Structure 1
Amino acid sequence: MEAYQKVAIVVLLLVAITNAQTICNVSMDGLTACKPSVTPPNPTPPSATCCSALSHANMQCLCSYKNSKLLPSLGIDPNLALQLPAKCKLPNPPNC
């Protein structure tokens, strides 16, 4: 059953990406710009492009991925991802 859930999540995410080209109001270009900042072991400081993309994000939506097994499977550290709004000095960082 767990394998089925993982497949279902990936399929839903791919459908969302294909249809909307955004996740939580962040464009695919924005997500790509942020990836070096959330990828261990040597994350880089977030770029201006990444911070700009996050400034339009639905933070509560992003919080819903906090405990997702999907992010680590994509090479993304959820803890690093949750630090990005503060690193970008965005007002009202998420309280996940």
Structure 2
Amino acid sequence: MAPGKLMVVLAVVVFVAVALAGGSEAITLCKMSDDQLMACKPAVTNPNPAEPTTECCTGLSAADLSCLCSYKNSAVLPALGIDPNLAMGLPAKCGLTPPANC
């Protein structure tokens, strides 16, 4: 695995571990809190993805979408049970315009 990808994987693993340990108040990913990320998870999880909630879309509207796009080809999303295609379609479902290069 390339060193850059390894660092991304390690960062996400640390984020998830801290979130699961209850220390999530100070943790954010791409300007989304763990609560906002968790609110979006049902909308990006197969086999029956839900429509995104208001909480999810509100969090996504304040997120760094370019940062989130950087995970689209990463092994991190599938490892967390997230479908990358559903994740990349989430901004449109929330009425947001994703970055051009996403």
TM range (shorter): 0.7 to 0.9
d(CA) in 2 for partners of 1:5, 1:59? 19
- Name the structure 2 match of 1:38: 44
Deviation at 1:13, TM superposition (A): 2.1
Deviation at 1:10, TM superposition (A): 3.8
Note if 1:12 corresponds to 2:17: no
Q: Determine helix, strand or coil for the equivalent of 1:55.
A: helix
Counting only pairs closer than 5 Å after superposition, residues 75-86 of structure 1 correspond to structure 2 as: 75-86=81-92
| 1:28 aligns with one of 31, 34, 38 | 34
d(CA) in 2 for partners of 1:89, 1:54? 10
Aligned residue-pair number: 93
Q: Is the 8 A contact 2:32 2:62 kept in 1?
A: yes
Q: Determine helix, strand or coil for the equivalent of 1:89.
A: coil
TM-score (norm 1): 0.82
- Name the structure 2 match of 1:49: 55
Gaps of at least 5 residues in structure 1 are: none
Instruction: Report the identity percentage.
Output: 55
Q: Is the 8 A contact 1:85 1:94 kept in 2?
A: no
- Name the structure 1 match of 2:21: none
- Name the structure 2 match of 1:87: 93
d(CA) in 2 for partners of 1:6, 1:94? 21
Counting only pairs closer than 5 Å after superposition, residues 52-71 of structure 1 correspond to structure 2 as: 52-71=58-77
Gaps of at least 5 residues in structure 2 are: 19-23
d(CA) in 1 for partners of 2:42, 2:83? 11
Deviation at 1:9, TM superposition (A): 4.0
Q: Is the 8 A contact 2:12 2:76 kept in 1?
A: no
